[in-house]
Amino acid sequence: MRPLSQELKNRISAAVAAARTASPINVVEIAQLVQSQNPQENVAFEDILSYVLDVAQCTGEAILFERQPSTAEVAQMNGASLIS
pTM for this prediction: 0.77
pLDDT at 69: 56
* More confident of the two residues 83 and 1: 1
Extract long-range pairs of 31-38: CB within 8 Å, 24+ residues apart: 32/67, 32/68, 34/8, 37/11, 38/8, 38/11
pLDDT tens for 15-72 read: 999 999 877 999 999 999 999 999 999 999 999 999 999 999 999 999 999 876 555 5
Asked if pLDDT for residue 11 goes beyond 90, the answer is yes
